[in-house]
Amino acid sequence: MTIWDRKKPSFGFISTRFAGLDGVSLETAKWADMLTSKGCSVCFMAGMLDTDPAISYLAPKAFFGHEEIIKVQNAIFVEKKRTSEVSKRIQELKEELKAEIQKFHEKFGFEILVVQNALAIPVNIPLGLAITEFIIETEIPTIAHHHDFFWERERFYTPLAIDYLRAAFPPVHPKIQHVVINSIAGQKFGSYTGSPWTLIPNVVDFKVLPPEIDDYNCDFRKEIGIDEDSLLVLQPTRVISRKGIETAAELVKRLDHPKALLVISHKAGDEGQDYLMRIEEFVKLIGVDLKIIADRIGLERGFDENGKKIYTLWDVYQHADLVTYPSAYEGYGNAFVEAIYFRKPIVMNRYSIFVADIEPKGFEVISFDNYITQQTINKINDLLKNPERITQMAENNYMLGWRYLSFEMLEEKIEQLLINYYGS
């Protein structure tokens, strides 16, 4: 008998947002799916939500993009001027958000709190402080799922926030169990806090076969304006500098295919438009066909206000011939896991987490160190001309993914966390 047979606790998820295609939102949805499959109930609180309204609690100031949050965050991390007024306002916002968390708890009565990244990266200092105080005051069992830490982002290094960072990013408390998504982050976390940690990488439900091209998405290429015989090189990431999109564009330029093009599935993200403009200028300079299709991608299929089809990211993967992942840094790599799931060949930079946590498991990819060479291009061209080799590589990767990155692995890891609370 497992703990799932004895206990089916309810889980309350909190973050700044649960909406869109960002890694935290996507991974949270997977956790929630796994938990509900075990008979547990889930609910959500954030400042931006596209979750089921019946199990959701909207607290607008939990969103890092709320104007009042932006104001205090900018004072500390941009203007670097923390006045008594700024400190006072942070405390006031903290109290407001703590009251919202209490209402969320009263409404749904969840037994275990799951904090998704809001106690790791200080994009909303008042929220992190509020969550920490709520945990201490209620002693609610908590799983803090950390995707990005403040020490991984240079812009958060400032003595003006040191008291907040030590208090809540992340906090240390007997009721909090900490989860990291890679071993390097775990080691740094352990050194910084002295607390134990559990490694749970990004996952996909490998026991469910990936969908295939169907009547709805069979026209995807036509809809985004590319030919059926084009070589669709997919970069399934946001347009931000650490994703290395210049390298992906160079790769497309150098491939031995007259109709190769680069398709980017996500929007520019939360780091401004400068890099997007840089990429648009760069592809024009080197003569690469680039299509950014974020306006055609959603969580569900449907139609936009102009009657154009909206596709899911899953639809895009089905049409990709090659996936590029030249990131300089990743917390783990959702795009990597998804490409493995859809049995697509992958070209990727050997970023530190890949080297530490992924490569040793035996996944087969075309990898490079920081920049591509002619040898890299030759390997890609040879692979694309060998469908049998692509199939063999993809099947091997899929089975490794099922072993190391599946819902079954996630279930075992969370089961252990529950045993720590409830006993075996």
Residue type, 174: P
Residue-wise pLDDT for 158-212, tens only, equals 999 999 999 999 999 999 999 999 999 999 999 999 999 999 999 999 999 999 9
| Predicted pLDDT of residue 272 | 59
Instruction: Kindly report whether the peptide bond that precedes residue 53 is cis, defined as omega within 30 degrees of 0.
Output: no
CB 184 within 8 A of CB 60: no
Q: Would you tell me how many other CB atoms lie within 10 Å of the CB of residue 152? A: 15
Angle at CA 259, nearest 5°, toward 253 and 264?
65
Q: Is the pLDDT of residue 65 over 60?
A: yes
Sign of the dihedral through C-alpha 236, 237, 241, 244: negative
Q: Is the pLDDT of residue 5 over 80?
A: no
Q: Is the pLDDT of residue 424 over 80?
A: no
Measured CA distances, 309 to 221, 233, 304, 353, 409 (Å) = 12, 21, 7, 36, 35
220-403 fold: Rossmann fold (3.40.50)
Taking residues 86-103, what's their average pLDDT? 98
pTM (predicted TM-score): 0.88
Taking residues 227-245, what's their average pLDDT? 92
| Furthest CA-CA distance within the chain | 66
Residue-wise pLDDT for 264-299, tens only, equals 998 876 555 888 899 999 999 999 999 999 999 988
Q: Which CATH superfamily is domain 3-203+407-422 in?
A: Glycogen Phosphorylase B; (3.40.50.2000)
> What stretch(es) of the chain map to CATH 3.40.50.2000?
3-203+407-422, 220-403
Tokens of 194: 């002295």
Per-position DSSP letters for 152-209, written without gaps between them? G-GGG--GGGHHHHHHHSS---TTEEEEESSHHHHHHHHHHH----EE----B-TTSP
